[in-house]
């Protein structure tokens, strides 16, 4: 079966985001960018499905600026077979991303689309669910385990523990942290990835309007906590806890 | 404006996350609540008592029992024909269902709101809470998830809403529930606990994590949380995780032990009223947000603290 994976180029998870002075957004100039960590897990899972003989082809898709090519090359170096870049300089919202992915899914006819559960920049946690709705497919969100036979059995990380659901195929799965540990691309594979096919498209090719539905009026830093005090001993700490009324 | 909210429940009782969701929804208009489940009339009766709710819809069907998004989302989309906004808590249930509703309505969801600034204007955290965006929705209908720690809880008792049964027969049959491996605990639930003790990778093993933290938590009547590193290392189950992608908590007192304080962790707990940090590294970023810090070896400090409380 064919597997589609969606990847997003975002601020590297180790970088502390800085809010622009004019309140228009977060400063991304000269900031290290990487593949969204949850999407790396999605790519890794697709590769493992291929290694198990379940998946036959992995198509990686990214919707974003020209530089998102680098993110797709990373996916190819990890083990994806080919890539589609839907290029736009607009900040595309999850709804429009889902619409583009739905069109690609109609063309490519994958049995599964795997995405990260959320992107660490806008923290929406919405694209996979929206895609599943648009396609009328079932969804296995926040997955920590995927088993595929004639149906997909997906274990989900939920507030109360672990929930397991069965999904008819085709299905959409979004990844949580414990699904796997993504591999690093080896140097030979990075070289090989340069010659793997990558086609460039535009949102217009899919007839999708990417104009934003949510207008950002301003972006500010959150209220900072005041620096606290350091105590020297457990007895002092117990005293403070008593002061807070949580110890007798 | 009429607002439909999703009642978070387990088939027996209304979960606390619902109460904060009601508070957020009342800032938008008249609040109607949906209880989707199977044999959920008891839950609907409880929901009818929540202060600020004027009507409760209850839909009972076997396919709704586990509130799978494939079954619940079309029901909500249908009810949205007569509502202007849908509001759900940003719990794993709400986050699973709401975007599916949004796409069915062709609406861009406003995720994890911190405040309601106007009928179409909200604030929400981005970049792991390192920035707060004010956004205005251009969609006529709104689909919203609520950061429950950012809103006061509505009163669970005192309301007198009417209860209306809605027919539902739209099981798409594409998904089914298999099992729930629930974490059994006598302790308070993480997201509603007044006190949380939380451990990191410094505990070194699952045994040490539990043998040191559990007695301390029991002494304080606290819930136990964990950093991502501790969960990844297998010291604690996934539903203990506090952080950007785990649970967002804001207890009266949060005690972080052996947690360095990565931004992803801080995103989940920095709105706690008082933060106490115990860490052997005095340079650990957790001390920058802590109200009270103690530098030292947790293997000595935690047993001593437990004993002296």
One DSSP character per residue, A80-142 reads -SEEEEEE-SS---HHHHHHHHHHHHHHH--SEEEEES--TTT----HHHHHHHHHT--EEEE
- Each residue's pLDDT expressed in tens, for chain A with a length of 248 residues: 999 999 999 999 999 999 999 999 999 999 999 999 999 999 999 999 999 999 999 999 999 999 999 999 999 999 999 999 999 999 999 999 999 999 999 999 999 999 999 999 999 999 999 999 999 999 999 999 999 999 999 999 998 889 999 999 999 999 999 999 999 999 999 999 999 999 999 999 999 999 999 999 999 999 888 879 999 999 999 999 999 888 76
Considering the domain architecture, whether residues B128 and B225 belong to the same structural domain is answered as: no
Determine if the peptide bond prior to B220 is cis (ω within 30°): no
Considering the domain architecture, whether residues B42 and B145 belong to the same structural domain is answered as: yes
Q: How many CB atoms sit inside 10 A of residue B205's CB?
A: 11
Q: What is the ipTM of this complex?
A: 0.95
Residues in chain B: 309
Is the pLDDT at B272 greater than 80, yes or no? Answer: yes
Q: Is residue B181 part of a domain?
A: no
Considering the domain architecture, whether residues B59 and B126 belong to the same structural domain is answered as: yes
Considering the domain architecture, whether residues B230 and B148 belong to the same structural domain is answered as: no
- Residues in chain B closer than 8 A to A210 (CB atoms): none
Contact assessment for residue B161 and residue B54, using Cβ atoms and an 8 Å cutoff: yes
Contact assessment for residue B236 and residue B215, using Cβ atoms and an 8 Å cutoff: no
Q: Which of B102, B132, B165 is the last residue of a domain?
A: B165
Q: Under the phi-then-psi rule, with left for phi > 0, alpha for psi from -120 to 50, and beta for the rest, what region is A213?
A: alpha
d(CA A182, CA B134): 34
Residue in B66, B71, B127 to test binding to A, most A beta-carbons within 10 Å: B127
d(CA B219, CA A11): 42
Kindly state whether B160 is in contact with chain A, defined as any CB-CB distance less than 8 angstroms: no
Q: Is residue B178 part of a domain?
A: no
Kindly state whether B261 is in contact with chain A, defined as any CB-CB distance less than 8 angstroms: no
Give the range of the structural domain holding residue B287, as residue numbers without chain letter.
190-308
Contact assessment for residue B74 and residue B68, using Cβ atoms and an 8 Å cutoff: no
Return the CATH number at B51. 3.40.50.620
Considering the domain architecture, whether residues B21 and B157 belong to the same structural domain is answered as: yes
Considering the domain architecture, whether residues B250 and B130 belong to the same structural domain is answered as: no
Considering the domain architecture, whether residues B130 and B223 belong to the same structural domain is answered as: no
- Residues in chain B closer than 8 A to A120 (CB atoms): 127-128, 244
- Residues in chain A closer than 8 A to B73 (CB atoms): 133
Whether residues A123 and B10 touch (CB distance < 8 A) is answered with no
Across the beta sheet with B30-37, what order do the strands follow? B110-113, B142-146, B85-89, B2-6, B30-37, B53-60, B162-165
Contact assessment for residue B15 and residue B32, using Cβ atoms and an 8 Å cutoff: no
Window B:52-71, CB contacts with A under 8 Å: 66, 68-70
Whether residues A165 and B232 touch (CB distance < 8 A) is answered with no
Return the CATH number at A130. 3.40.50.620
Give the range of the structural domain holding residue A173, as residue numbers without chain letter.
2-243
Window B:192-231, CB contacts with A under 8 Å: 195, 220, 228, 231
* Partner residues linked to A2 by β-bridges: A57
Q: Give the minimum alpha-carbon distance from A188 to chain B in angstroms, rounded to a whole number.
A: 30
| pLDDT at A129 (0 to 100) | 98
| pLDDT at A86 (0 to 100) | 98
Structural domain count, chain A? 1
* Displacement of CA B86 from its chain's centroid (Å): 17
DSSP annotation of B201: G
* Displacement of CA B55 from its chain's centroid (Å): 23
pLDDT band for position B168 (cuts 50, 70, 90): confident
- Residues in chain B closer than 8 A to A216 (CB atoms): 133-135
- Residues in chain B closer than 8 A to A212 (CB atoms): 108, 138
Return the CATH number at B284. 3.40.50.1220
Considering the domain architecture, whether residues B149 and B296 belong to the same structural domain is answered as: no
Considering the domain architecture, whether residues B105 and B236 belong to the same structural domain is answered as: no
């Amino acid at each position: 079966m064919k597997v589609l994976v969606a990847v997003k180029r975002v601020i590297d998870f180790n970088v502390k985001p800085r809010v622009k002075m004019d309140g228009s957004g977060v400063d991304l100039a000269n900031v290290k960018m990487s593949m969204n960590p949850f999407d790396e897990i999605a790519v890794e899972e697709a590769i493992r499905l291929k290694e198990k003989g379940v998946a036959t082809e992995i198509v990686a898709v990214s919707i974003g600026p020209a530089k998102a090519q680098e993110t797709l090359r990373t996916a190819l170096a990890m083990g994806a077979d080919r890539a589609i870049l839907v290029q736009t300089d607009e900040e595309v919202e999850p709804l429009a991303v889902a619409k583009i992915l739905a069109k690609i899914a109609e063309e490519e006819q994958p049995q599964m689309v795997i995405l990260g559960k959320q992107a660490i920049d806008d923290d929406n946690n919405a694209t996979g669910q929206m895609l599943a709705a648009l396609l009328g497919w079932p969804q296995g969100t926040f997955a920590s385990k995927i088993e595929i036979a004639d149906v997909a059995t997906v274990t989900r990380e939920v507030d109360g523990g672990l929930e397991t659901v069965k999904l008819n195929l085709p299905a959409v799965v979004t990844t949580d942290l414990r699904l796997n540990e993504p591999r690093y691309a080896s140097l030979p594979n990075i070289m090989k990835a340069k010659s793997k096919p990558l086609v460039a498209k535009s949102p217009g090719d899919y007839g999708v309007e990417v104009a934003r539905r949510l207008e950002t009026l301003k972006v500010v830093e959150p209220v900072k906590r005041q620096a606290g005090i350091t105590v020297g001993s457990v007895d002092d700490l117990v005293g403070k806890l008593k002061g807070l009324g949580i110890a007798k | 404006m009429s607002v439909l909210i999703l009642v978070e429940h387990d088939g027996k009782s209304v979960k606390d996350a619902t109460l904060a969701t009601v508070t957020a929804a009342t800032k938008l208009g008249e609040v109607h609540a949906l209880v989707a489940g199977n044999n959920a009339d008891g839950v609907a009766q409880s929901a009818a008592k929540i202060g600020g709710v004027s009507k409760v819809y209850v839909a009972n069907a076997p396919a709704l029992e586990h509130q799978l998004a494939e079954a619940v989302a079309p029901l909500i989309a249908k009810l949205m024909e007569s509502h202007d906004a849908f509001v759900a808590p940003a719990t794993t249930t709400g986050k699973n269902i709401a975007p599916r509703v949004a796409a069915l309505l062709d609406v861009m969801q406003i995720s994890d709101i911190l405040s309601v600034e106007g009928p179409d204007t909200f604030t929400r955290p981005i970049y792991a809470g390192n920035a707060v965006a004010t956004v205005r929705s251009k969609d006529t209908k709104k689909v919203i998830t609520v950061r429950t720690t950012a809103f006061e809880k509505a009163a669970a008792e005192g309301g007198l809403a009417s209860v209306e049964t809605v027919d539902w027969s739209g099981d798409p049959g594409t998904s089914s529930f298999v099992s729930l491996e629930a974490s059994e605990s006598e302790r308070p639930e993480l997201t509603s606990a007044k006190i949380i003790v939380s451990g990191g990778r410094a505990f070194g093993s699952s045994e040490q994590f539990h043998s040191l933290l559990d007695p301390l938590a029991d002494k304080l009547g606290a819930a136990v949380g964990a950093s991502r590193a501790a969960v990844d290392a297998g010291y604690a189950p996934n539903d203990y995780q506090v952080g950007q992608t785990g649970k967002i908590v804001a207890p009266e007192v949060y005690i972080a032990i052996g947690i360095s304080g990565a931004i992803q962790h801080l995103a989940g707990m920095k709105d706690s009223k008082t933060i106490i940090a115990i860490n052997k590294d005095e340079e650990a970023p957790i001390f920058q947000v802590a109200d009270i810090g103690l530098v030292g070896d947790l293997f000595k400090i935690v047993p001593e603290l437990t004993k002296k409380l």
